[in-house]
Amino acid sequence: MSGKTQFTITVFPGDGIGHEVTPPCITLLNKVAEKVGGFSLDFISFDAGAAYYKETGISLPEDALEHAKKSDATLLACMGMPSIRYPDGREIAPQLELREKLDLFAGVRPVKTLPGLPLPLQDERAKNLDFVLIRESTEGLFAGRNNFTIKGEGADEAAYDTQKISRKGCERLFDFAFDFARRRKLKGYKGKVTCVDKANVLGSFYYMRQIFDEMASNHSDIEADQVYVDAAALQMVSKPWIFDVMVTENMFGDILSDLGLGLMGGMGMAPSADIGENNAVFQPCHGSAPDIIGQGKANPTAMFLSGALMLDWLGGQYDNPAAIEAGQLINTAVENAYASSNILPFELGGTCGTDEITQSIMVELDKL
């Protein structure tokens, strides 16, 4: 499809502060669409998540899933509440179900610091981080979670999980990572993909690394390098500015993306995208934050930046440069708001809540 101008977006406000950060995000997205022109957004909202499960016994209604499959993209705030669980004790996490059902294999976790915030690393270079972690989201040890086995008896009893790393899974992931790096290179970034694995110890990772090398030679315009996951963890806190695009397996990605989140200063700052061949879900990294519900303290920044990621993806996927420009405008408005208006969110010890942060960002968008 090319040159599409009207996008249908499935929206899940979800649980908790999801209901507080979703409305301002939709207002912002409509505002930027109107400002830039060249595309429009139709939002269709669905109830799903823990509160909905408590009410109905269903966590993700079938019609919502079908709509998510057919629509151009999905915007999801956060789902799950520690106090509401399935009878077997598992957390209610329809966002994981969406990832599986829509085959969203690439988890995109940008690590981009905003100006004016207290950050954990003191080195000046760590104040301007701008790299991306891409996490495989359908395989690895997590893919085998339903095949968990216990074998043996007594002193010989042992539990086993199985790791799956497939050729197809690696090829589509690495292709995605190299294409992603190429798009960044056009914007002035390094154009480098770093494969993170444990190829020195586990055969499945050695296999993954060999496929990475093959794929790297197919994308020779992009620099490729490799690092073991333990060294990657160290480098992410000792010299994180060396990275451009990191790509890794599911569980390593799960862990390292939280490390990346830590580098950004706050839960309310980090957006994410989960992307498949024809579908994508965009959501902030934070959860439903039950401790601050209804207090006006939720930081909407991660939700706004997720909206910006969505516009950027829609523009690339459907050949609409206006949508890409609109995504960039949101990023710039957010950066300018943090640089110029001394926003310090509650979560970082400040006094700025949802309304004030939203207002500062809207004002900056008007100026662009």
Distance CA 307, CA 17 (A): 16
Alpha carbons within 13 angstroms on the beta-carbon side of residue 175 total: 10
Choose among Mg ion, ligand ATP, none what residue 298 binds, the Cβ cut-off being 5 to 8 Å by kind.
ligand ATP
- Binding ligand ATP (rule: CB under 6 A), the pick from 272, 283, 299, 306 is 299
- From the number of C-beta atoms within 10 Å of its C-beta (0-12, 13-18, 19+), residue 154 rates as exposed
Q: Which stretch binds Mg ion (CB under 5 A): 118-126, 179-187, 283-291, 304-312?
A: 283-291
Q: How far is the CB of 232 from Mg ion (least distance, A)?
A: 21
Under rule CB under 6 A, residue 350 binds ligand ATP: no
Structure tokens at 263: 């580098």
User: Are the CB atoms for 124 and 100 separated by under 8 Å?
Assistant: no
Distance CA 319, CA 330 (A): 19
Q: How far is the CB of 111 from ligand ATP (least distance, A)?
A: 17
Site string for ligand ATP, 64-83 (x = CB under 6 A): ----------------x---
Site string for ligand ATP, 248-287 (x = CB under 6 A): -------------------xx-----------------xx
Helix (H, G, I), strand (E, B) or coil at 10: strand
Choose among Mg ion, ligand ATP, none what residue 216 binds, the Cβ cut-off being 5 to 8 Å by kind.
none
Choose among Mg ion, ligand ATP, none what residue 133 binds, the Cβ cut-off being 5 to 8 Å by kind.
none
Site string for Mg ion, 241-280 (x = CB under 5 A): ----------------------------------------
Cα-Cα-Cα-Cα dihedral of 23, 24, 30, 34, to 10°?
Answer: 160
- Binding ligand ATP (rule: CB under 6 A), the pick from 137, 204, 250, 288 is 288
Distance CA 268, CA 300 (A): 7
Helix (H, G, I), strand (E, B) or coil at 31: helix
Q: How far is the CB of 84 from ligand ATP (least distance, A)?
A: 12
Site for ligand ATP in 147-206 (CB under 6 A): none
For the chain, strand residue ranges (E) read: 6-14, 40-45, 73-78, 106-112, 130-136, 149-151, 158-160, 192-197, 223-228, 245-248, 271-275, 280-284
Q: How far is the CB of 55 from ligand ATP (least distance, A)?
A: 19
User: Are the CB atoms for 108 and 138 separated by under 8 Å?
Assistant: no
- Binding ligand ATP (rule: CB under 6 A), the pick from 211, 289, 333, 365 is 289
Distance CA 39, CA 34 (A): 8
Number of residues that bind ligand ATP (CB under 6 A): 15
- Site for Mg ion, rule CB under 5 A: 287
- Site for ligand ATP, rule CB under 6 A: 17, 80, 267-268, 286-289, 291-292, 297-299, 302, 347
